């Protein structure tokens, strides 16, 4: 029972880590970034390369996401910023193309093989929790996710930067009329989203393996989380990840064949009665 609960939490944590960046980018900059999955994969690949060259796993967990974030910033400046003021369809098509391009680049640089990021030996083995053995690494993933989310909340709630980000999600024009360079905000937010995706990638690496399509495969689940939780709502994303992660895990335990059906059914029902998701779009909180 404890094991099943932890399993639910773990899947929720992974979904949350990856979808949260997507959510922040949409919430603040109103960009639906279809390349987000690819940036998650990019973080995983950076992490994989670092760890296989002997970099400490924890150092890679810090550095690889930053590198992914840097790539995100460059992409934002070069590709998204010039078409920001056009219709959303442009960014959709462009970021989709970008994801295809990045996924293709993985093949060139890292080949099409399925790889694993080597787990640090300190996180191998299992921990006895009230008579149930649970893998240390999974517990680490849970703890790390909680830290990341708390850190993010602190950034958003306690700092001037967070204040600006929250304000920018509602009335961006007024934020620039207060002397803030919105271009920098958009760039920073995109970078932050990519850092979060990168953290997800490195953390998932030892568990879910690393391969070129890993991001694009994950993107669909992220959008389910986003749509259920309400586009651009941080609390909604947390709630929705828990819902989707739990429904999927329990589904596999008790209903096996219908687990995925349940998730999509849940999405359909929620959209039918709450078309904007559980916590509706609007201000980013």
Partner 1 sequence: MATKLLELEDVHTYYGDSHVIQGLSIYVNKGEAVSILGRNGVGKTTTLRTIAGLTPLRRGTVRIGGKDTGHWPTHRIVKETHVAYVPAERNVFPGLSVKENLKIGEQPPMNGSSGSRWTLDMVYEYFPILKERHLQDGSTLSGGEQQMLVIGRALMGNPEIMLLDEPSQGLAPIVVAKVAEIVKQLCALHGLTLVVVEQNFRVSYKLAQRHYLMDLKGQIKRSLTNEEWAANEDIVKKHLSIDDGCVEKKDSECRQVPAPSEAPSGAAPGGPGAVSK
Partner 2 sequence: MRKGLAVCISVLLVLTMMPLRPAVAADPIKIGVVVTLTGMAAQLGIDNRNGILLAAKHKGTILGRPIQIITEDDEGQSETGIRKAEKLVFKDKVVALSGVTVANVGQAIAGEADRLNVPFLTTNVMTPKFYGLHPLVFRCGQVADDQMTVAQVMGILKDPDLMKRSWYVLADDYAWGHSCAEEFIKLATEKGIKIKNPTYDNAALNLVDWSPFVSKIISAEVGGVYACLRSPVAPRFVQQAADFGLMEKVKIIGGTPSEAALEAAGESVVGLIGTCCWTWDIDTPKSKAFAEAYWKEFKEVPPSQGAQAYTGAFVLFNAIEKAGGTDPKKIAEALKGATFEGPYGEVRISPKDNCMRTPVKVVVAERAPKNPFGAKIIKKVVASLTPEEVGPAE
Please name which of 4, 15, 120, 112 lies closest in space to residue 59, comparing C-alpha atoms.
120
Q: Exactly one of 44, 249, 267, 270 binds partner 2 (CB under 8 A); which one? A: 249
Contact between 208 and partner 2 per CB under 8 A: yes
Of residues 125-154, which lie at the interface with partner 2 (CB under 8 A)?
Answer: 125-126, 133-135, 137-138
- CA distances in angstroms from 23 to 93, 160, 235, listed in the order given: 18, 20, 10
| Token pair recorded at residue 210 | 């690393």
Q: Exactly one of 41, 218, 270, 279 binds partner 2 (CB under 8 A); which one? A: 218
Helix (H, G, I), strand (E, B) or coil at 179: coil
Of residues 132-171, which lie at the interface with partner 1 (CB under 8 A)?
Answer: 160, 163-164, 166-167, 169-171
Q: How far is the CB of 149 from partner 1 (least distance, A)?
A: 18
Angstrom distance (rounded) from CA 269 to CA 114: 36
Contact between 246 and partner 2 per CB under 8 A: no
Q: Are 196 and 13 in contact (CB under 8 A)?
A: no
Contact between 87 and partner 1 per CB under 8 A: no
Of residues 171-210, which lie at the interface with partner 1 (CB under 8 A)?
Answer: 171, 173-182
- CA distances in angstroms from 81 to 42, 84, 91, 223, 261, listed in the order given: 21, 5, 10, 23, 38
Q: Exactly one of 130, 257, 272, 273 binds partner 2 (CB under 8 A); which one? A: 257
Stretch that binds partner 2, among 59-67, 166-174, 175-183, 200-208 (CB under 8 A): 200-208
153: burial class by Cβ within 10 Å (0-12, 13-18, 19+)?
middle
| Token pair recorded at residue 3 | 């094991």
Angstrom distance (rounded) from CA 254 to CA 213: 29
Of residues 170-189, which lie at the interface with partner 2 (CB under 8 A)?
Answer: none
Contact between 112 and partner 2 per CB under 8 A: yes
Contact between 279 and partner 1 per CB under 8 A: no
Q: Which residues bind partner 1 (CB under 8 A)?
A: 160, 163-164, 166-167, 169-171, 173-182, 282-285
């Amino acid at each position: 029972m404890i094991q099943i609960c932890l399993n639910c939490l773990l899947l929720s944590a992974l979904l949350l880590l990856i979808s949260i960046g997507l959510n922040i980018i949409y919430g603040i900059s109103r960009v639906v970034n279809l390349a987000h999955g690819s940036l998650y994969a990019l973080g995983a690949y950076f992490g994989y390369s670092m760890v296989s060259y002997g970099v400490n796993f924890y150092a890679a967990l810090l550095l690889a996401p930053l590198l992914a974030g840097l790539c995100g910033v460059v992409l934002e400046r070069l590709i998204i910023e010039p078409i920001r003021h056009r219709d959303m369809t442009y960014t959709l098509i462009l970021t989709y193309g970008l994801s295809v391009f990045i996924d293709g680049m993985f093949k060139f640089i890292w080949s099409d093989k399925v790889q694993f990021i080597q787990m640090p030996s300190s996180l191998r083995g299992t921990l006895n929790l009230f008579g149930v053995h649970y893998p240390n690494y999974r517990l680490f993933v849970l703890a790390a996710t909680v830290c990341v989310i708390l850190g993010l909340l602190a950034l958003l709630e306690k700092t001037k930067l967070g204040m600006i980000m929250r304000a920018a999600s509602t009335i961006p024009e007024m934020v620039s009329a207060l002397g803030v360079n919105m271009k920098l905000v958009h760039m920073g937010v995109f970078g932050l989203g990519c850092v979060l995706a990168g953290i997800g990638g490195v953390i998932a690496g030892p568990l879910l393996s690393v391969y070129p399509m890993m991001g694009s495969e994950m993107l669909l689940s992220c959008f389910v989380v986003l749509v259920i939780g309400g586009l651009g709502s941080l609390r909604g994303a947390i709630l929705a990840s828990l819902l989707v992660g739990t429904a999927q895990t329990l589904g596999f335990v008790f209903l096996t064949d219908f687990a995925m059906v349940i998730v999509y059914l849940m999405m359909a029902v929620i959209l039918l009665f709450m078309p904007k998701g559980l916590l509706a779009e609007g201000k980013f909180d």
